[in-house]
Structure 1
Amino acid sequence: MCLLLIGCGGESNREQPMPETISYNLHIRPILSENCFACHGPDANKRESGLRLDREEDAFSTLKEQPDRHALVPGNPDASEAYLRILSSDQNERMPPPSSNLSLSDNQIQLIEKWIGQGAEYEPHWAFVPPKKAMLPEVKTKDWAQNELDYFVLEAMEEAGLSPNEPADKLSLIRRAYFDVIGLPPNPESLDRMAKDELNLDGLLDSLFANPAYGEKMAVHWMDLSRYADSHGYQDDYYRTQWPWRDWVIHAFNQNLPYDRFITWQLAGDLLPGAGKEQLLATAFNRNHKITEESGAIDEEYRVMYAVDRTNTLGKALLGMTLECAQCHDHKYDPISQKEYYQTFAFFNTVAEWGIEEASPGFSKKSPAKVPLMEIREEDVEDILHFVNMPDSTRRVQTLLANMGKGTNYNSLLAEADVLKVSVMGEPDNTRRTYLLDRGMYDAPKEAVEPGIPKAILPFPDHLPKNRLGLSKWLFDSGNPLTARVFVNRIWQEIFGKGLVATPGDFGMQGNLPVNQPLLDWLAVDFMESGWDIQGLIRKIMQSATYQQSSVVDPEKFEQDPENRLLSRFPRQRLPAEAIRDLVLASSGLLHREIGGPSVKPYQPEGLWEAATSGRGNLSRYLQDSGKYLYRRGLYTFIKRTVPPPSMMIFDASNRDACEVERLQTNTPLQALVMMNDPVVLEASRVLAEKLLESGEPTPHLIRAAFYRIVGRKAEKEEFQILLDNYGSFYSGYSEEPKRAKATLAVGEYPLKDSLPVVERAALMQVISLLYNLEETITKS
């Protein structure tokens, strides 16, 4: 049986039928983790009565306070003190104690009783056991499956009495594929080719993966995960130049750099034999964290914070583990001790850096926390770093001037324009030792520790170097149970909206169980066997019948599986913030498709930065860009951590303060207000109206053409009539008030087409604006 729907964290809180055989992982561990492990789990400092229930040998041993009793007696619930305490009516004896506000349901109590009666067999946590490829399951409707993963999905559906949806229509499928691979809408020509059977899915995927926009789309989620931003964070929030690393990420995805090398270069590129500037640039991943430049801060406190950030990012992004929970004490739920946390921390604690911009020994001038730095010059870009989109000198000087603070030396600005400086990893400080920090406090060192890793995941082999390169080799050891699963799950989440594990940052005891573990494990092993081929993984998922289903919602299926966790239809998902901007710009013809380069400052409410900053620093004023820089993809929007771009935040984008592996999905009135009033949407509506009117075609044709471009299908008769009536209403109103029409068109910096009639332009602009405001427009379905 492959279907797993119960798990702590609340995947489904509905009572489940009593199974014949009770599984510790599936049925019991979630109950104990939610209700018992805080006091009877891995954290020795918080353990009550010396009782530990997360390990078999401890749970079966005699009780410290009652040597004649055992917490669990396999085969005998009535002799098991833990079970008797659950049933106790004495508030001083009952477990969980009433003061915890926790309680077990009758169904959970019966599960525990039956489990003990069947022998109380413990199982290792599923995520700590290396994945294996299961045989393809037997299914009834084999003809439906198009590749291996369909068998696992179909087995789960059939067990639940569900059946797959019909295939999606061709235009829906091409639009879905475009957004999933390059993050942009299909153009009308591609839609036409698909409709005429001149383009199949395999050919479409070949062309999409070859499109450099693929790297941009993939980079969006990596920016969240790597906490990339264009400012340092904290109060004064100065400018930083990390965008060349973003260019590398785009390049790496476009080159289909295998995932093991993609990660190794970012974690330890500087330690590779014969490492060049590209490998060194990749290590900027480790330096994307927030940095303070406030002189009143304590240097060592912030230096420790930077190493902590790298450690926590490793756990959340690459291992799917909440390592941060062990910073101040042993982990309460997972078998990770505080000592093991600081052993992992030791890999990232030897960077020769400082916590703040203060005078440092060995330097004749102030040494910023962003040291070590990598310099990128014109000759580097002409040679090995050809993928870095270094802007011309004039543009660089303009950027530097825009970000200059009071007292900045103009000559030094000109010198800096000739070179880019990126924070990277550098020569380690071998004199620095790592200590376990009492309660996580930077100034309370206890015992010294050597680099290591939580043994419960996979012991660190003796033959590996105890540095970041050794850590990377450990990550990609064939016995590591987490690395492949975590990445496969994140790609699944990118495509289907929710991962097979619904808690992508927590594969531990408190995380959700996989909805289909055999499928997750099959994909993880296949990913490793492919040589960590990222495009191959995405292609396999998209070539499946599961992916190609219609998104039509059947009421009976919805009643049975409201969250669509069994994928008996393709899920409808609102596009992420960046893709909404990209859709608007691309469909209107405004999008500037240049790859890479510095971040840009598009339209933003006036005075927002000034009202929300300290008034100091080189980002105290918002200086909007102009020309082509106003029309770049959302990926390139300037991220100031203390004042992130408001329209993107309203659509749940990350402010990049910390590693984020999953975005919230909210639905608020503010989102509708953005789509109705954002200058980007209004300007795009005006520009598209002008482009269509230039064709000289009749109005009905123009409305149909706009619908096709924006929504990705042809308008139905009723829809078209509503739009035509809408146009007529606006046309009549503007004919009576031409000044209002002219005022409506006065939006954005893109040049107006004054040779075209004002009333027609304004009326068609309003119809197009309505199309951008359709829920279907900003939904992938």
Structure 2
Amino acid sequence: MLEKYFYGLVLFVGLGVVSQSCTKSSANQATDGQLPDMVSYNFDIRPILSDKCLVCHGPDANKREAGLRLDLAENAYKALQEHPSAHALVPGKPELSQVYLRITSQDTAQLMPPPSSNLKLTAREIKLIEKWIKQGAAYEKHWAFVAPKQPKLPEVKQKNWPKNEIDYFILHKQEQKGLAPNEEADKERLLKRVSLDLTGLPPSLKLMDQFLADGGVNAYERAVDQLLRSPAYGEKMALHWLDLARYADSHGYQDDGYRTQWPWRDWVIHAFNQNMHYDQFVTWQLAGDLLPNASKEQLLATGFNRNHKITEEGGVIQEEYRMSYVMDRNDTFGKGLLSVTLECARCHDHKYDPFSQKEYYQLLAFFNNVQEVGLESVIGGPETYAKKPLMEISDQEVQSILSFVNKKDTNCLIVSVMGDLDTTRKTFVLKRGMYDAPEEEVQPGTPKAILPFNANYPKNRLGLAQWLFDKKNPLTARVYVNMLWQELFGRGIVKTAGDFGMQGELPSHPELLDWLAVDFMTHNWDIKRLVKKMVMSATYRQSAVVTPEKLKTDPDNMLLARSPRYHIQAELVRDLVLSSSGLLVKTIGGPSVKPYQPAGLWEGATSGRGLLSMYVQDHGPDLYRRGMYTLIKRTVPPPAMMIFDASNRDLCEVKRLKTNTPLQALIMMNDPTVLEASRVLAARLLQESSATSDKIGKAFRQIVCRTPKEKELAILTDYYEKELKKFTRPSAEKYLTVGEYPIPERIDKVKLAALMRVVSTIYNLEETITKS
């Protein structure tokens, strides 16, 4: 029944998109009661040690108890510091291994973990450790810190199902668990899915009709290629990168003044549309200013490093805030490009991962030479739009080398970029991470556990970029492949997309992750090629229908025996509404815009100074731009976006939450943009010479992206007739006042109001904003 999908009735209950945690289980483990034939340190033992033991017996020397370190084999095998005749681990002999004796002790004074820690090993975990010791207690380097090697494609029984290499790995794991993949989704749902994933927009009626009429074996590939060529592809791909790069239109902190970093956003969109390969894309952003004879475009790309929060408050301590900017760049590099929690080593050695505090500051040294200060000016004047170092963009440059920058006026345009000092600023380890407590001086370097820094690389950001794209670097390719997989499938092969370290989740398909990583590198870091390979797979094309058996066997869909089903991103909700109604202005780039917003949110929220002290709504075409162009004031982000889990861009974010709340239903029912779009689409349909049911059917196709079933169409048509009888001319005129887009002259306003109600109802279907 159609009614069960109405937001106002169900408030998203049962949608099942809220993330659920999954246990860290062995890749070759069957059920909880069984032990693997060969116990793996990486997949079976290390997660136990990381969760239960390494706080006291891990990398952090300051917190280490009894001088025992269990994350390194040589330390775990040697004689105990306090009992030289005993050893924590004796390979092959659990009865002589203090680790095993202590975790099985009945004496609470001897038991590990101690009862006071509120940590306890399960019976299965104890059996795993015992079997591991019996098998030799062999350690392995953490899987994410070993350079990937491309494995062979696994054998599968259902040989006619795979469409490319991805499917062999997915199907192999499914067959091990007794599952089979779903059939391919129907053409309408598949087209909606891939259109949203590649462009962030629903498919047009023309593309729908074209795809449905194409009976060729390569029809889907032709549709994919057409979407990949769309300028909207760059906008969709850029959206995730803006989260990672913490892009915003304000500086943050209490004053939260306006900033002009949007030309950098224009460059990101341009780079994706030009299919700039990932190594060049990132290198320009990290160190474009250090490239030989650096161009203005390469310099603009370095705005990536300047998107962090910047204070404009008087009375701050210059060095304190300058160091906070440097640390932000360092932490963004760690989380966004390496997917490790380097920031945990800012004040002490990392408690779980093999990163020392010294290594944190060695990496920070690459970012510490920027010619900037903690506080440059007071809020209020044009000089606050960008902070030094900066670059000016002239009209002449926009007409030539920077033609992708959407500059509308002749005003001077200034962007914050990178630029180093002529001399080298010294970098020190900071005691407890305090800016005013320098200790040992350090030189630029990288964590040895990942990859030692090559002495042939220059000790600057350009050298760091070379290190990042060294084929021996175990993380770079894996991390980006995982992020793209997350964008297309809702969760990464590694669920913790920002943490590939000891505390992160294990990959659900480690061989697939490595195969894709090596394939990505060997094909010159070609992003568009990688995206196409993923969406062309049979895995991606599956139906989202779930059987009770599959739901019971794999409730989190880790094995991908069905297509995932979840809400589209906040910005795309807006894009879908505007696009399907015909309101969307498809202009790419340019300054951010201020659409409808509840009154009074900005006023009084900050210091009350500067251009962003009051919300002055835009008008005309600027009301109908894509969601990614909505102005983000960090202290008061766009409310509709935040309710749909958008980032406030304070810090690097590589994975958004997926929630399901009544507030989302209220947005869809009451947001002026949704109501205005309903009115505009209804007016356009009324002006067509067609039957009422045809108008409603067309609206359904444009919004939901499929032809309505006969029963659905009957329900909506009946609803229209009921609303038509309810409305009077005065009540209709009052209902139609929402939004600024003009109402056509000489239109029947009672019919318009009734059809607007129907269209609004279609926008409020759960299926409308769900990718399935």
| TM-score > 0.5 by shorter chain | yes
Does 2:333 match 1:347?
Answer: no
- Whether the 8 Å contact between 1:132 and 1:522 is mirrored in structure 2 is yes
Does 2:331 match 1:312?
Answer: yes
Does 2:96 match 1:103?
Answer: no
**What is the percentage of aligned positions where both structures have the same residue?**
62
Does 2:274 match 1:255?
Answer: yes
Letter in 2 for 1:147: N
- Alignment match of 1:210 (pick from 229, 238, 257): 229
| Alignment-derived partner of residue 687 in structure 1 | 680
Does 2:489 match 1:496?
Answer: yes
Does 2:298 match 1:279?
Answer: yes
| Alignment-derived partner of residue 178 in structure 2 | 161
- Alpha carbons of 1:693 and 1:358: their partners in 2 closer, same or farther (altered >3 Å)? closer
Query: Matched residues in 1 for 2:61 and 2:224: separation?
Result: 52
Query: Matched residues in 1 for 2:584 and 2:244: separation?
Result: 26
How far residue 431 of structure 1 moved from its aligned partner, in angstroms, is 4.0
Letter in 1 for 2:230: N
- Whether the 8 Å contact between 2:303 and 2:416 is mirrored in structure 1 is yes
- Alignment match of 1:605 (pick from 598, 610, 616): 598
Does 2:387 match 1:370?
Answer: yes
- For the aligned residues, what is the CA RMSD? 1.7
Letter in 1 for 2:157: K
| Alignment-derived partner of residue 181 in structure 1 | 198
Does 2:740 match 1:749?
Answer: yes
Does 2:763 match 1:780?
Answer: no
Deviations 1:472-502 (A, max 9, x none): 0000001000000000000000000000000
How far residue 724 of structure 1 moved from its aligned partner, in angstroms, is 1.1
SS of residue matched to 1:603: coil
Does 2:561 match 1:568?
Answer: yes
- Alignment match of 1:581 (pick from 563, 567, 574): 574
- Alignment match of 1:457 (pick from 424, 442, 450): 450
- Whether the 8 Å contact between 1:153 and 1:567 is mirrored in structure 2 is yes
| Alignment-derived partner of residue 401 in structure 1 | none
Does 2:93 match 1:53?
Answer: no
- Whether the 8 Å contact between 1:344 and 1:453 is mirrored in structure 2 is yes
How far residue 696 of structure 1 moved from its aligned partner, in angstroms, is 2.2
| Alignment-derived partner of residue 80 in structure 1 | 97
SS of residue matched to 1:347: helix
SS of residue matched to 2:429: strand
Letter in 1 for 2:476: T
Query: Matched residues in 1 for 2:338 and 2:424: separation?
Result: 29
SS of residue matched to 1:421: strand
Letter in 1 for 2:683: E
Query: Matched residues in 2 for 1:367 and 1:768: separation?
Result: 44
Summarize the alignment of residues 235-254 of structure 1 with structure 2, pairs less than 5 Å apart: 235-254=254-273
Query: Matched residues in 2 for 1:312 and 1:422: separation?
Result: 22
- Whether the 8 Å contact between 2:377 and 2:384 is mirrored in structure 1 is yes
| Alignment-derived partner of residue 405 in structure 2 | 388
- Alignment match of 2:86 (pick from 59, 69, 80): 69
- Whether the 8 Å contact between 1:356 and 1:369 is mirrored in structure 2 is no
Does 2:674 match 1:657?
Answer: no
Greater shift, 609-618 or 74-83, is seen at: 609-618
- Alpha carbons of 1:498 and 1:128: their partners in 2 closer, same or farther (altered >3 Å)? same
| Alignment-derived partner of residue 767 in structure 1 | 758
| Alignment-derived partner of residue 210 in structure 2 | 193
- Whether the 8 Å contact between 2:259 and 2:384 is mirrored in structure 1 is no
How far residue 8 of structure 1 moved from its aligned partner, in angstroms, is 8.2
| Alignment-derived partner of residue 430 in structure 1 | 423
| Alignment-derived partner of residue 557 in structure 1 | 550
- Alpha carbons of 1:733 and 1:358: their partners in 2 closer, same or farther (altered >3 Å)? closer
- Whether the 8 Å contact between 1:357 and 1:368 is mirrored in structure 2 is no
SS of residue matched to 2:734: helix
- Whether the 8 Å contact between 2:247 and 2:649 is mirrored in structure 1 is yes
Query: Matched residues in 2 for 1:9 and 1:160: separation?
Result: 13
Deviations 1:529-559 (A, max 9, x none): 1110000000001111111111111110111
Letter in 2 for 1:629: D
Letter in 2 for 1:699: T
Query: Matched residues in 2 for 1:366 and 1:20: separation?
Result: 66
- Whether the 8 Å contact between 1:267 and 1:468 is mirrored in structure 2 is yes
Query: Matched residues in 2 for 1:616 and 1:329: separation?
Result: 39
SS of residue matched to 1:435: strand
Query: Matched residues in 1 for 2:66 and 2:506: separation?
Result: 29
Query: Matched residues in 2 for 1:315 and 1:720: separation?
Result: 52
SS of residue matched to 1:720: helix
Letter in 2 for 1:82: V
Query: Matched residues in 2 for 1:58 and 1:715: separation?
Result: 66
Query: Matched residues in 2 for 1:368 and 1:504: separation?
Result: 33
Deviations 1:89-139 (A, max 9, x none): 222221111111100000000110111111101111100111111111110
Query: Matched residues in 2 for 1:205 and 1:650: separation?
Result: 31
Letter in 2 for 1:179: L
| Alignment-derived partner of residue 714 in structure 1 | 707
Letter in 2 for 1:708: R
The alignment's TM-score, normalised by the length of structure 1, stands at 0.94
Greater shift, 513-522 or 367-376, is seen at: 367-376
Query: Matched residues in 1 for 2:100 and 2:619: separation?
Result: 69
Does 2:354 match 1:324?
Answer: no
How far residue 392 of structure 1 moved from its aligned partner, in angstroms, is 2.5
How far residue 15 of structure 1 moved from its aligned partner, in angstroms, is 3.0
SS of residue matched to 1:609: coil
- Whether the 8 Å contact between 1:77 and 1:113 is mirrored in structure 2 is yes
| Alignment-derived partner of residue 290 in structure 1 | 309
Q: Which structure 2 segments of 5+ residues have no match?
A: 1-21
| Alignment-derived partner of residue 266 in structure 1 | 285
Deviations 1:400-432 (A, max 9, x none): xxxxxxxxxxxxxxxxx2x11100001335241
Query: Matched residues in 2 for 1:345 and 1:267: separation?
Result: 13
Query: Matched residues in 2 for 1:743 and 1:249: separation?
Result: 43
Letter in 1 for 2:498: G
- Alpha carbons of 1:622 and 1:104: their partners in 2 closer, same or farther (altered >3 Å)? same
Query: Matched residues in 2 for 1:16 and 1:203: separation?
Result: 48
Deviations 1:322-363 (A, max 9, x none): 00000000000000000000000000000010001259xxxx
Query: Matched residues in 1 for 2:385 and 2:194: separation?
Result: 45
SS of residue matched to 1:464: coil
How far residue 632 of structure 1 moved from its aligned partner, in angstroms, is 0.2
Greater shift, 194-203 or 28-37, is seen at: 194-203
The alignment's TM-score, normalised by the length of structure 2, stands at 0.95
- Whether the 8 Å contact between 2:386 and 2:415 is mirrored in structure 1 is no
How many residues get paired?
A: 745
How far residue 7 of structure 1 moved from its aligned partner, in angstroms, is 2.0
How far residue 57 of structure 1 moved from its aligned partner, in angstroms, is 0.2
Does 2:185 match 1:139?
Answer: no
Query: Matched residues in 2 for 1:738 and 1:778: separation?
Result: 32
Letter in 1 for 2:675: L
- Alpha carbons of 1:329 and 1:9: their partners in 2 closer, same or farther (altered >3 Å)? farther
Letter in 2 for 1:676: M
Query: Matched residues in 2 for 1:654 and 1:126: separation?
Result: 30
Query: Matched residues in 2 for 1:310 and 1:547: separation?
Result: 35
SS of residue matched to 2:743: coil
Letter in 1 for 2:513: L
Runs of 4+ in 1 over 4 A off after TM superposition: 365-369
Does 2:144 match 1:130?
Answer: no
| Alignment-derived partner of residue 362 in structure 1 | none
Does 2:724 match 1:731?
Answer: yes
Deviations 1:690-733 (A, max 9, x none): 00111121211101110011001111111111111111111110
- Alignment match of 1:15 (pick from 32, 41, 50): 32
SS of residue matched to 2:707: coil
SS of residue matched to 1:432: coil
Letter in 2 for 1:278: E
Letter in 1 for 2:325: Y
| Alignment-derived partner of residue 515 in structure 2 | 522
Query: Matched residues in 1 for 2:566 and 2:483: separation?
Result: 16
Q: Which structure 1 segments of 5+ residues have no match?
A: 360-364, 394-416
Letter in 2 for 1:299: Q
Query: Matched residues in 1 for 2:701 and 2:384: separation?
Result: 56
